[in-house]
Amino acid sequence: MNFQQLLHQRTALLQQVHMANMAFAYQRLGEFAARITRARLHGLVRLRPGDPAGEQPWPALTALDGSQAVLDEHFLDEEIVELMDILGFLGEEMNADGMTFRLEELGGRRLSELRRELRQAGIIPAGEAPPNEEASPGCG
């Protein structure tokens, strides 16, 4: 591929990367939500960004209701970093203290929005049936 071809394809490549990130966010949020449901985890949590100069240089997920130990059993530090990245990609509002949400609601609205956007782009999420095609006249 030459330089001019690459520049010419830039817009399409950026669109593909965006859609790939949306698909990844959809898949991983779905996996997190399924794990939360299976383990019957619930309650208010705070997801805080890391502070590279402080005691906690990586993001942290803190239980505000319930047991921190139970939460720690179900989420590795790497997964919390990934969750922070995904929510940042999705444009979730986060201040210096992070964001507070109910753990059992993690997937809800976000997964629905991602599913809708993927389908509008003609992408069928894994494990889902394609939309029903209208029967053509004369068939039946």
Query: Which residues are 95's β-sheet partners?
Result: 98
Does residue 127 lie within any of the structural domains?
no
Does position 12 have pLDDT exceeding 50, yes or no? yes
> Domain residues for 38?
16-120
Q: What is the mean pLDDT of the chain?
A: 88
pLDDT score, position 132? 62
Domain count, the chain: 1
Confidence of residue 46 (pLDDT cuts 50, 70, 90): very high
Residue that is written with structure tokens 């494990």 in the block: 127
Does residue 132 lie within any of the structural domains?
no
pLDDT, tens digit, 9 for 90 and up, residues 93-108: 888 789 999 999 998 8
Does residue 99 lie within any of the structural domains?
yes
pLDDT score, position 6? 86
pLDDT score, position 131? 65
